[in-house]
Amino acid sequence: MDTSHESRRPAVGQVAVPYPPHPGDHGPLLRVRASEPVADSYRHNIIRLQVGDRFHDLVRGRDGGASVPPGAVFPEDGPVHVVSGCSSFDRLVTSADNALTQQALEDWAGARERVWYRAALFPPRREWVETGVAVRGTPVQDVVDVARYHGQPAVLTWDADGLSTTASGIDPDLRLDSAPVPVQVRPAGRGCPMRFGDGSGPCRPEGGPYGSRAIAVFSYWQQHRRQLVEALGCSVCAGGPVSAGRAIAVTSTFTPSRRGGWQSGPPLPLRDLHDDHGEDATRTRRSETASG
């Protein structure tokens, strides 16, 4: 029996993974559309900053209210510029693609003794997550030029007026509101990133071992969990296994972004099949089941 319908229903208080439509559905959509326009996502996203061994979340404040300046986190109130290292040039990308872009961005940030910090950007419902860098003491135009070079459509700047967005110019159709929005700073929750609230409990896997749809759900759920754990951390299990089973990815997968959810790519050759722990999947019967 295929239990994929029930297995796709998120547990109460848990992140709803934006699963792709199943290939067998033959529908017009390849991915679930984003819940808000890209331009709005820059005004609503949460920015997590790692400063030393402390983590801070920069969240949108009340419209018309006072905004917390960078001096609440950093030694000075000078502007902080944040650039994403994901989904370069607004194309479909894999997790490996994002890792390369992020590393190149960190290489730039670490050159010439720049003051920089690791950052993560994500919406309140965590349908997607981006890693990035935050830099201080660098002119905004220099950062915008770098964002354009790395295929990023915008730079987020936090200063005494709030959080503002500057377009890099690679997307002429992206109309950004450059007016700053007030922001507040709160300690970052370091519990399970797949759960809302304090995240003190473990997350609940979705999908299952029987039926191609249930296996696909389990695979995408694990990939979404891994992305959130790598970007935001987890004090509950540190990304360890949450079930005895392992789902095998038999197609390449494109990561969620500000434009939509997970998307299936072309089938993988046997030599590239792997499970969520990177182990050779051709040695397991699960790969045969998933391929069917």
Report the percent of the chain where pLDDT is more than 70: 85
The reply to whether 55 and 162 lie within a common domain is yes
Domain final residue pick, 172, 187, 202:
187
* Whole-number Å distance between alpha carbons of 284 and 270: 12
The reply to whether 285 and 167 lie within a common domain is no
Those residues whose C-beta lies under 8 Å from the C-beta of residue 239, and which sit 6 or more positions away, are 225, 226, 229, 230
The reply to whether 208 and 159 lie within a common domain is no
List the Cα angle 70/75/76 in 5-degree steps: 55
Full residue range of the structural domain in which residue 83 is found: 38-187
- The answer to whether the beta carbons of residues 156 and 140 sit under 8 Å apart is no
What does the pLDDT read at residue 292?
A: 34
User: Which one is predicted more confidently, 284 or 166?
Assistant: 166
Count structural domains, the chain: 2
The reply to whether 240 and 99 lie within a common domain is no
pLDDT tens digit sequence for 268-283: 887 776 554 444 333 3
- The answer to whether the beta carbons of residues 79 and 86 sit under 8 Å apart is no
The reply to whether 134 and 247 lie within a common domain is no
The reply to whether 114 and 45 lie within a common domain is yes
The reply to whether 179 and 200 lie within a common domain is no
3-state secondary structure (DSSP) of residue 40 = helix
Burial class (CB in 10 A: 0-12, 13-18, 19+), 4: buried
Q: Give the Å distances, CA to CA, from 125 to 36, 64, 144.
A: 12, 24, 28
What does the pLDDT read at residue 189?
A: 85
Threshold 0.85, pTM exceeds = yes
